[in-house]
Amino acid sequence: MSDDEQWLRAIQPLRVERLDASRDSYIALPYLKSTLARITQLSEQTAHQSPRRYVLDLLRDGYFIAISPFDEKEIVISQSIVLNDKSVFFWNPTVDFVIIASDLGAGFPFTGIYIAKLRVLLLLNASQWTANAATIAKFEQIRDKPFSGKVGDDGRIIITGDGNFAHHIWNQLGALDEAFLAVPHPLVPTIIRL
């Protein structure tokens, strides 16, 4: 992170705004409508209780394609961080645009968009399990540290585990099994059990 970015983060508080059907544009993001249309498509489930489209893309290809709210270009999203509250931040390091998935009970739909240079978090739904100032700060802290772990042959890592063993079996292993069954020939990532 540059000195200017650190300075801006220190003096400019995070602005949180909720987007709804009547407001699908934002002054500094001329192509937000296209971004939201793609996010909605990626967040759909293909059938009841099946993985969302972006999850299938991640398993099959190791990435999913989003649309930039700045210039309407396609962006390969292949980086992610999972926080302790189980919110997931997806991004491409070359674009200042982060997509947030949260709400385990709803199957991790996309719930927010974060634009760091504007210090704006745009909430996409009314879920109480979406990102906030604390999760954004934690994401930025982790993102800005270099990764020192071992990465599998295909470059992907899935981290799984829960403090409650029953939650791990019921919620995570079943979801991983169903997700791998839904993709004909998924790339096999490194799986780390916490």
Element (H, E) at 75: strand 74-77
Q: What is the pLDDT of residue 49?
A: 62
d(CA 55, CA 115) in angstroms, rounded, equals: 22
Q: Which residue has the higher pLDDT, 126 or 40?
A: 40
Per-residue pLDDT tens digits for 19-44? 765 555 566 788 888 999 999 999 98
Q: What is the pLDDT of residue 189?
A: 58
Q: Where are the alpha helices (DSSP H) in the chain?
A: 3-11, 32-43, 53-61, 133-143, 165-167, 174-182
Quick check: 159 pLDDT over 60? Answer: no
Domain range summary for the chain, segments of one domain joined by +: 3-148
Which has the closest alpha carbon to 111: 93, 90, 134?
90
Task: Quote the DSSP letter at residue 110.
Answer: E
Per-residue pLDDT tens digits for 164-174? 666 656 566 66
Per-residue pLDDT tens digits for 56-92? 888 788 899 999 999 999 999 988 888 888 888 999 9
d(CA 50, CA 48) in angstroms, rounded, equals: 6
Q: What is the pLDDT of residue 194?
A: 45
3-state secondary structure of 31: coil
Cβ-contact 131, 87 below 8 angstroms: yes
User: Per-residue confidence at 177, pLDDT binned at 50, 70, 90?
Assistant: low
- pTM of this structure: 0.74
C-alpha angle 120/131/181, rounded to 5°? Answer: 125
